[in-house]
């Protein structure tokens, strides 16, 4: 099995699990998950692509709510504490990346000569004596 087949198999497995989770979540779980979604059936098909992609997050969040571990008033408190630290980190990281990009440039050999590339059709016809090889 080569890398492309392995990636394709992984995508098929991820999508299959996502389809199962989407079917379960949109029929059973969304009414428990969000009170505003009760009786609203028109928008549910719009959620299918997102559920296919982020089904682990959906399962985790569904588990937290079902086990009553969700503390609604405190749910944004931990990220807010980290915002200042992350902002300081990004303030230093982004200019560092930009300056590094300006300072680190490729060094070309002195005997390097650029080569002109031909269109693929011309190269093919030259190699195989095609009908467009008239000069």
Which spans in the chain are helix H? 3-24, 30-33, 44-53, 55-66, 77-103, 120-128
Question: What are the structure tokens assigned to 97, written together?
Answer: 């990346």
Report the SS3 class of residue 79: helix
- Domain boundaries of the chain, sorted by first residue: 1-72
User: pLDDT value at position 82?
Assistant: 77
Q: What is the pLDDT of residue 14?
A: 93
What is the structure's pLDDT at 29?
A: 83
What burial letters (b/e) apply to 34-49, b meaning 16+ CB within 10 Å?
eeebeeeeeeeeeeee
Per-residue pLDDT tens over the stretch 38-91 = 777 788 888 899 999 999 998 988 888 888 777 766 666 666 777 888 899 999
């Amino acid at each position: 099995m080569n890398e492309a087949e392995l990636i394709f198999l992984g995508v098929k497995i991820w999508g299959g699990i996502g389809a199962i989770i989407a079917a379960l979540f949109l029929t059973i779980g969304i009414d428990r998950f969000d009170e505003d979604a009760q009786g609203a059936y028109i928008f549910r098909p719009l959620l299918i692509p997102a559920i296919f992609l982020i089904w682990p997050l959906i399962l985790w969040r569904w588990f937290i709510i079902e086990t009553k571990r969700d503390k609604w008033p405190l749910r944004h408190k931990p990220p807010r504490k980290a915002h200042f630290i992350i902002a300081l980190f990004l303030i230093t990281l982004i200019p560092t990346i930009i300056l590094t990009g300006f300072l680190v440039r490729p060094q070309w050999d002195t005997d390097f000569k650029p080569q002109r590339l031909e269109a693929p059709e011309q190269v093919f016809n030259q190699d195989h004596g095609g009908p467009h090889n008239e000069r």
